[in-house]
Structure 1
Amino acid sequence: MALHLVPIRFRDARDFVAMWHRHNPPPVGMVFAVGAADDDGVLRGVAIVGRPVARHLDDGRTLEVTRTATDGTRNANSLLYGAAWRAARALGYRRLITYTQGSETGASLRAAGWRVLAQRPARAGWDRPSRPREQRGTEHMPRTLWEAVP
């Protein structure tokens, strides 16, 4: 099955993530999104790119792939990660990052030419007495920080 890139609206990308993502809800915002469709026009995957979640990385020149989701179609994630980096560069951004959970291999990222920047230990979450946050189900998991290779 051949895949190609398609434009996608934020609402449609969020709906796709809500249906297919294994462990995270759709993000609340984005800078852009891109879809992967098959030859029949059936949407097989999406990538949503936004500002970095960690505020110290939000320097105006960095974006983060905040969510990808596919229906399991082979190579869809790699296609989306590569397209996200090309689009970010075309918009003038210098850096694109993303995270995977400790149990994920990162095979799609490696296939798209990304590299590991850091291993992040598990943390209790974003909740602080001064800034209460809801639990999202991703607390207490180690993560890997990835960067698209220029």
Structure 2
Amino acid sequence: MSLPQLHLVPVRSRAAKAFVAAWHRHHPPPAGMVFAVGAADEAGVLRAVATVGRPVARHLDDGATLEVTRTCTDGVNNANSMLYGAAWRAAKALGYRRLITYTQDGESGASLRGPGGG
């Protein structure tokens, strides 16, 4: 069985929040966002989303920094790396100089190293 080929798709705020609510049972969808990006398979089915907003920490909310507030997948391989890379490219294109995110204890951070994060 081959891995699905993914491609980036724009995702509206409401659709991103609905996807997170359906697949990410540990945390609620983020309250606000600047933009969202998704990964869809060959059939156009949304398989993963990333939401990007202003930093939660006020001292980092300097106007030049955005935060990946949530990534969520249905378990498809390599989607997180694809979304982190797309989020950084989009943030740079909008004039932002820094994109931050957080990982939980025990997470390897491997999805961040692929797009140059770490």
- Larger of the two Rg values belongs to structure: 1
1:14 corresponds to: 17
Instruction: Give the 5 Å matches for 1:14-93.
Output: 14-93=17-96
In 1: Cα distance, 2:72 partner to 2:99 partner: 18
Q: Secondary structure at the match of 1:78?
A: helix
1:121 corresponds to: none
Instruction: Give the 5 Å matches for 1:122-137.
Output: none
The root-mean-square deviation of aligned C-alpha atoms, in Å, is 0.8
Q: TM-score, normalised by structure 2?
A: 0.94
Structure having the larger proportion of residues in helix: 2
Structure 1 unaligned spans of 5+: 116-150
Q: Deviations over 1:28-51 (max 9, x none)?
A: 100000010001001000000000
In 2: Cα distance, 1:78 partner to 1:65 partner: 12
1:138 corresponds to: none
Q: Secondary structure at the match of 1:16?
A: helix
Structure 1 segments of 4 or more deviating over 3 A? none
Q: Shift of residue 19 of structure 1?
A: 1.3
Q: How many residues get paired?
A: 115
Identity %: 77
2:98 corresponds to: 95
Q: Shift of residue 107 of structure 1?
A: 1.2
Structure 2 unaligned spans of 5+: none
Letter in 2 for 1:58: D
Q: Deviations over 1:58-83 (max 9, x none)?
A: 00000000000000101111000000
Q: Secondary structure at the match of 1:23?
A: coil
